[in-house]
Structures are given as C-alpha cells and as structure tokens.
Structure 1
Amino acid sequence: MVRLLHCGSLAFLAVGLLGGPSQAHTVKASDSVAVTFHLEPDHNPRAGDPAQVWFVLTQKGGSTIPLSQCDCHLQVIAEENGQTIAQPPLTAVSAEQYQNIPGADVTFPKPGAYQLSIQGQPQTGDAFQPFQFSFPVTVAKGSSPKPSPPVQSTDTPLSSSKSGLPKVVWISISIGVGLSFVMLVLRLRKK
C-alpha cells in the first residue's frame, strides 16, 4: 500500500510539472475534400515568433492528397481590415504520421485576429474538386526582444524557494513523504 501511495504521489507530481499531451486540430470538409489544420505551438502563436502551420488534405474515401498533387496556396488575412498580409509558400512537410503534406512557417506581425485561408485544385485531372477553407487564428502578444528587469520575488506557494525549485514541488514532495509516513505508521500499528 505504501509503494502504491508513493508511486501515486510521484505520478501526480510528474503530471503536475510536465503537463499532459495536448494536440489541437481543426477539421473542415467540402463535398470532395476534408482538411485537418494544425498550428504550432498548440494553436497559440505569438506575434513576431515563427509558427509552423500544416494541413492534411484528404479525398472522399480517406486517401491523403500530397502537396505534389495539389496546386495549393496559403494567405494570411488580418481580420481588422480584411487585407492579405502574407502569402507564405507551401512546402511538403511531415507531421505526426503524415508525409508530404502542405505546410508553411508563418510569422504574425502583431497580436490580434487573423484568418489562414488555404485554397487548392488538382495539379492534373479532376482527382478532387477545387476547395477553399479559412481558419481563424488568434495571435497573442510576443516576447519582448529586450530583457525584462529583475522582478522582486513574492512569497507565494508557487514561487521559487532558496534551493531554486518551485515551492509547489517541495509541497508535493512533502505531501507524498507525509502520506507515506502515515501509511507506514498505520501498517506497523496493525501488526
């Protein structure tokens, strides 16, 4: 029981410190094409920082359309005035389990609301119908290029201790050790 409690405390600590996996994808579809859209990092781009965007194009029936078979174009549109501010070139990228899908690096100039618009048609023949999809993107304030002045430490449970580790880590460890000790004492009393 003590080992189980100790392992549970460590798992709680690891999840709290590292966080769980998060992947955000947005899917839109027309009659003949579906598009899965993803924007790194985690659909939370920051102004002035490069962000990678990629699209998985899928034909009706489930087969993936590689960039080499699509005459695709990407536009970055500012919502405040509807102006196209960039047309980054699409290149073939590999992301997750997908290979040779359209992708681009996008740097948003300032915080605000944008639309990423992808349009495409078959390179040859009529393998799929021409399509156009737009995806809303909210861009957060970017990191300042100047170093920030040092901030006075506040003594809150989440601030760093003198050893350099956040107090939340020490609290979690203390709780785990304390619970393990209580369980050990209870176990010894039963004997």
Structure 2
Amino acid sequence: MSVESLFQALEARLASRPARDVDLPGFVLREASVLVPLFERDGVPHMLFTRRPATIRTHANQYSYPGGGRDAEDLTPLHTALRETEEELGIDRSGVRVLGMLDEVPTISQYRIRPFVGVIPGDGKYVPSPEEVAFILEVPLVNLLDPAILRIEKKEVLGAQRDLYFYTYDSHVIWGATARILRDFLTQVAQVPGVEAMLGGAR
C-alpha cells in the first residue's frame, strides 16, 4: 500500500461513518474547529502538531492541531479549520486536501471541537505565526501507532469519569483534547485494510 492509497482508504473510511456530535445536556458549548494535518515525505506518512507559546493566554506550552474558535465570517466549521491553519502555519487553504471529519470533542473550556483530517504539502515550508506557534512537531504515523507511547488515566471531566490520553514521542507529550482527537484518528487508521503491512515497511 502506498501513502496515497492509505490517504484514499482513510478518506473512504471517514466517509462511511458519520462523525458523532457532542451531547452534553446543560452545557452551552462554543464552536471551534481544527485541522488534523497529514503529509507524505520520502514515502512515509506523517502527522503535524504545533506547540503553543508559553506566553499565550490559554493552553500555554501544550501541543495542539492548528485551529481555533469559529469567527462570524466563517461560513462553515471547515472554513474555521482552514483559515486557522493558514494563519498559524502559512499553509494556503487551497493546498489542503480534506479527507473527512472525526468525532466532535468537548473541552473543559466549554468548546466543541470539530476535527477535520486533511493532507497538506510535505515540503515543510511553513510560515509559523510567532503569536500562536512556538514549535512545529512532525511525527511519522507509525510512531503514533506504537502502543508503548500511550498512557491512560481516569479523571472526572464535565461531570463524568473519562479516560485521559497521554502520547509521549521522544520528549514531547501530547495530551488533552488533542490526544482525544488523535485517539479517534488512530482508531480509524487501524480499520484500514493493509495499513499494518504498509506502516511496518515504513519503520
């Protein structure tokens, strides 16, 4: 399986299952969207994360996907994800190939995040916004699928006991809403026929 075949199979997988909406009675959640950026480099599929600056007001120093709250001019949640990706990383929205949507994720700051999976150029030519991006992390997909990097804790969040996920890649720890989105994404990838053989060859 080539990387392009993987992207096509993932697109078909996401199209075959409707993304679940957040259902939290009693909570009024604000709208937000993120892009889960994939790319190919040297025949290997990767995922991109950004680390937020220490000076930012919320979620300082945390790893995230490019995205943010929906602005009045955003026609759809997807417009939000693509606009934020362009603002944060300098990736032209016309150069993003959207594969589909993952399940909505609520946050303790009372947002509902709609995650869109998209393929970005693999040339690494980013123009990061210093106000929003302190560091860009590129991770081969095979490393994210390694169960050894995942740790799970339980905690009460928004009135219910929930699993908290922590993915540790080298010295980088991905947690919070980003880790929940990543967990959903990796679950979908695991359902793609032939993915283990393809990624095994990429180690």
Q: TM-score range by the shorter chain?
A: under 0.3
Give the number of the structure with larger relative contact order, counting CA–CA contacts within 8 Å between residues 6 or more apart: 2
Task: Give the TM-score taking structure 2 as reference length.
Answer: 0.24
Task: Give the TM-score taking structure 1 as reference length.
Answer: 0.25
Who wins on radius of gyration, i.e. which is larger? 1
Normalized per residue, the structure richer in helix is 2
